[in-house]
Structure 1
């Protein structure tokens, strides 16, 4: 999710882990443990956004645990519960040719190959077989993200995606 401030949401603090200040993270990155690779993360709490240094992090079972600088014990870690985590867009490496970060596609207009507007990209979801683009407009549409078959053109400069998808669906 892109915020109005240009930050990209990558997860949230969902629990505490141990007694030395580690926290459990609900990660929205792919792969899930990639969130632990950033040396710092923006953290949003009641006081607003602050930059938090990451001292360590790793996959742990189905989730991720992270240790933030200055968080020394379980009580301090508990104070981070619910904090939203984000990065700045320019912290990401450039996408490969023909690949896109979901955050860069959100808000783009979507139109049928004949020029019929279908709405704007409001999100994506993983289904196992392929990702699905969620398009909001006069109604919500779910369009499989299959480049060359349904997704014909992505023009980031013009803010437009052309699709071959029946406007009635």
Structure 2
């Protein structure tokens, strides 16, 4: 299996308790608005999809402002334009309205993403899975993952936080969604 960035590839059933949102109910951060583009209300955005303009395929968007307020929006269109991605957002008709979106995060429901390819999974699918090493030491649950450029890193939080390189099969030995567990070859003292 391989880890996929938030906008790439997939998983199967996951074992979660009823208080946690199901994988399909979770949202995934795909980008954010970075400022106005021109004077007609177009907005520049940073996209973490690959290719970057494929962000427009996943709608509706949930826009989350800096104060945490969320609203859903559909019908956003756009394209890559040189080094930026430019969007036409319904209801945004001038530069001031476009600039007001600066910093707003763009999220989508996990259910809006395409089904994962065999042997892949979205990072969000790994969140909340239990992490244990080969000796059976419980490292806690997956909090989140991030990329360093060199490799991805899984963050497990239990009695303390551990950052584990997401290197398959050397470090990440097994991802078992049915059991709700990731087995790692990682020393408990690290």
Q: Greater shift after overlay, 41-50 or 87-96? A: 41-50
Deviations 1:28-84 (A, max 9, x none): 434443323324311134694322124422234444222112211112212222322
Q: Structure 1 CA distance, aligned partners of 2:44 and 2:118?
A: 34
CA distance in 2, matches of 1:42, 1:34: 16
What pairs with 1:37-52 in structure 2 (closer than 5 Å)? 37-45=57-65, 48-52=69-73
Aligned mate of 1:98, from 90, 106, 119: 119
CA distance in 2, matches of 1:121, 1:25: 29
Question: Which has the bigger relative contact order, CA under 8 A and spacing at least 6?
Answer: 2
Q: Find the partner of 2:145 among 119, 124, 143.
A: 124
Indicate the residue corresponding to 1:23 in structure 2.
43
TM-score scaled by structure 2? 0.76
**Which one has the bigger strand percentage?**
1
For structure 1, the residue ranges without an aligned partner over 5 or more in a row are none
CA 1:122/1:93 → structure 2, altered by over 3 Å: closer, same or farther? same
Gaps of 5+ in 2: 1-5, 7-19
Match of 1:135?
Answer: 156
How far apart, CA to CA, are the structure 2 residues paired with 1:12 and 1:156? 30
